[in-house]
Amino acid sequence: MRGRNGASAWEEAGPPSARNGNRLSASARAGIDKINHMSAAFALSPEVLAKYQPVIGLEVHVQLLTRSKAFCGCRNEYGGEPNTHVCPVCLGLPGALPVLNRQAVEFAVLAAKAIGCRIRETSVFARKNYFYPDLPKGYQISQFDKPIAEHGEIIVSDAEGNPKPIGVTRLHMEEDAGKSLHDGFPDSASRSYIDLNRCGTPLVEIVSEPDLRSPDEAFEYLTRLKEILLYTGVSDCNMEEGSLRCDANVSVMLKGADRFGAKAEVKNVNSFRYIRAALQYEIERQIGILEEGGRVVQESRLWNNAEGRTYSMRSKEHAHDYRYFPEPDLPPLVVGAEWQRQILSAMPELPEARRSRLASEFGLNAQDAATLTTDRELGNFFESAAKAAKSPKRVAAILLSEITMRLRAAEIRLDQSPISREGLVTAADLVESGAISSKQLKQLLDACFSEGCDFIAIYERDKPQQISDTGAIETMIDQVIAANPAQVAQFKAGKRTVAAFFIGQVMRLSKGQANPALLNDLVVKKLDEAAG
């Protein structure tokens, strides 16, 4: 059972919460909570922790969103009746020959370019041999010494918040294996089943240099990488369905040492938060060993969500264990300059560039610009609304607070939101002009989400009653002026900003229904009269 790549480790031994995907189970949450108090578990003082420098390198597997598989015409689709998306090629039947999927190559090149890699014009597929029940061919088609792309980088921020480039060693193409199913059958206690639908799904593996120095940097690297992959559209990066999977390599060394320590490779981690937690656990485990005078063994370790710890899985395999050799059934892959140029013409604006553009074009702060670009659709939605609205900042504020909050509460995505672009523009303009208060906005949005209706329809129906009768507003202003002589005196003394106080008081008195524009004018007029 040696020689598994990270691709399928977690179906094999992961706890149910990991295998069944979706939401965090209670036990998984408990795992995170445990991790948050991990230092206590290892009883390491901050002084001891500070003596060591963690070193981290990540290997990320990403499934490509092609219609068909990497080397055959079978549908590349998550799920499906087990063993229905299969054919002689992906089942590895004798005599069946692979044919490379052109779209998979184009996605690999696009992803590689988006992380600044250099493309190798002629790359070579290789067989990575290992025995495992979900790998019917007995080898995985991968790339070894001549991968399609190398030498990229992803920018994260270091502990001081400065940009720090993390080297990407290589991006290579390979195919996925099938899945072993260990639960959910009446005889699961004694038997495992195999689903080969995933066999031959196109993947890219993206390997980082050991440049990361903390779990936070690793978390950010993954966040940035995922953003870039989503922007390029090469993958849906859905970790729950396994379209993005990460193995985390981690070692520690005394600060100032000139050689890295022995690393552990942590598998079976299916969310970025858990990766951060697993790395923190590993760092402290390894420091604990060194502090006791022991040696860290190079090995693969399995993360257990429920227990918030890692377990030794097997000693680390080496390249020679896989008996790599060039794939005899596929010619070298040549991606020449012209093809590269064509592929690059599909490159969208990437998150980094968009962030700075949103900040300068719409006057957003760095934080809002960053949040809006994390998700390409969110960014698109914002941009199209911001262009039509009176205040782009108001659009950003409503989108990032009120709407995001409600989407999260309803557990729906932006594309399932009841609020249309026009709805958002209307809401932002109404708040901006003072026609509705922020409290009224909240009430209207609540109605939108509970009834699944767009903002404009709800607003037309529930339009907050407005008092636009000059006489009625003046009566209220008189009341407020009479009740607040001290503030009137301030206004008389020249402090004109105190008008805002009166506007607020009358608004409250009118239960938020006074026409704001009218109220504004009338308050200033009345105060001037009182002062004059």
CB of 22 to Zn ion, least distance (A): 28
Q: What angle separates helix 499-509 from helix 470-483, to the nearest 10 degrees?
A: 120
With b meaning 16 or more CB within 10 Å and e meaning fewer, what string describes 123-136? bbbbbbbbebebbb
Our CA angle for 431, 437, 440, nearest 5°, is 105
The site map against Zn ion for 29-68 (x = CB under 5 A) is ----------------------------------------
Q: What does 210 bind: Zn ion, ligand ADP, none (CB cut-off 5 to 8 Å by kind)?
A: ligand ADP
CB of 264 to ligand ADP, least distance (A): 8
Q: Does 87 contact Zn ion by CB under 5 A?
A: yes
Query: Which among 472, 500, 468 has a CA at the least distance from the CA of 487?
Result: 500
CB of 103 to Zn ion, least distance (A): 15
Q: What does 58 bind: ligand ADP, Zn ion, none (CB cut-off 5 to 8 Å by kind)?
A: ligand ADP
Q: Does 141 contact Zn ion by CB under 5 A?
A: no
The residue (of 59 and 176) whose beta carbon lies closer to ligand ADP is 59
Q: What does 474 bind: ligand ADP, Zn ion, none (CB cut-off 5 to 8 Å by kind)?
A: none
Q: What does 402 bind: ligand ADP, Zn ion, none (CB cut-off 5 to 8 Å by kind)?
A: none
The residue (of 158 and 451) whose beta carbon lies closer to ligand ADP is 158
Q: What does 266 bind: Zn ion, ligand ADP, none (CB cut-off 5 to 8 Å by kind)?
A: none
User: Which sign does the torsion angle of CA 310, 312, 318, 322 carry?
Assistant: negative
CA-only gyration radius of the chain, Å: 29
The residue (of 128 and 421) whose beta carbon lies closer to ligand ADP is 128
Angular region, 79: left φ>0, alpha ψ -120 to 50, beta rest = left
Query: Which among 308, 426, 246 has a CA at the least distance from the CA of 25?
Result: 308
Q: What does 260 bind: Zn ion, ligand ADP, none (CB cut-off 5 to 8 Å by kind)?
A: ligand ADP
CA distances from 47 to 65, 211, 291 (A): 47, 23, 12
Between β-strands 179-181 and 193-195, what pairing exists: parallel, antiparallel or unpaired? antiparallel
Q: Does 72 contact Zn ion by CB under 5 A?
A: yes
The residue (of 197 and 249) whose beta carbon lies closer to ligand ADP is 249
Between β-strands 244-254 and 118-119, what pairing exists: parallel, antiparallel or unpaired? unpaired
- CA 518 to the chain's CA centroid: 46
How far apart are the C-alpha atoms of 226 and 230, rounded to whole Å?
Answer: 6
Query: Which among 49, 47, 46, 40 has a CA at the least distance from the CA of 290?
Result: 49
Q: What does 506 bind: Zn ion, ligand ADP, none (CB cut-off 5 to 8 Å by kind)?
A: none
- The answer to whether 91 and 242 have CB atoms below 8 angstroms apart is no
Backbone angles phi, psi at 166, to 5 degrees: -105, 125
Q: What does 204 bind: Zn ion, ligand ADP, none (CB cut-off 5 to 8 Å by kind)?
A: none
Can you tell me which of 9, 18, 90, 444 binds Zn ion, judged by CB under 5 A? 90
The residue (of 99 and 334) whose beta carbon lies closer to Zn ion is 99
Q: What does 464 bind: ligand ADP, Zn ion, none (CB cut-off 5 to 8 Å by kind)?
A: none
CB of 208 to ligand ADP, least distance (A): 5
In this structure, the dihedral spanned by the alpha carbons of residues 411, 413, 417 and 422, taken in order and rounded to 10 degrees, is 150
The residue (of 131 and 260) whose beta carbon lies closer to ligand ADP is 260
Q: Does 74 contact Zn ion by CB under 5 A?
A: yes
Residues that bind ligand ADP (CB under 6 A): 55-59, 207-210, 249-251, 260, 263, 316
* Tokens linked to 59: 């290997």
CB of 199 to Zn ion, least distance (A): 7
Q: Where are the beta strands (DSSP E) in 270-359?
A: 299-304, 309-315, 325-326, 333-334
CB of 139 to Zn ion, least distance (A): 16
Q: What does 74 bind: Zn ion, ligand ADP, none (CB cut-off 5 to 8 Å by kind)?
A: Zn ion
CB of 90 to Zn ion, least distance (A): 3
CB of 317 to ligand ADP, least distance (A): 8
The residue (of 82 and 210) whose beta carbon lies closer to ligand ADP is 210
CB of 84 to Zn ion, least distance (A): 11
Q: What does 209 bind: ligand ADP, Zn ion, none (CB cut-off 5 to 8 Å by kind)?
A: ligand ADP
The residue (of 87 and 100) whose beta carbon lies closer to Zn ion is 87
Concatenating the DSSP letter of every residue in 99-114 gives ---HHHHHHHHHHHHH
Identify the helix (H) or strand (E) that includes residue 384.
helix 376-388
How far apart are the C-alpha atoms of 352 and 224, rounded to whole Å?
Answer: 9
With b meaning 16 or more CB within 10 Å and e meaning fewer, what string describes 452-471? ebbbbebbeeeebeebeeee
The residue (of 113 and 263) whose beta carbon lies closer to ligand ADP is 263
List interacting residues with Zn ion (CB under 5 A): 72, 74, 87, 89-90
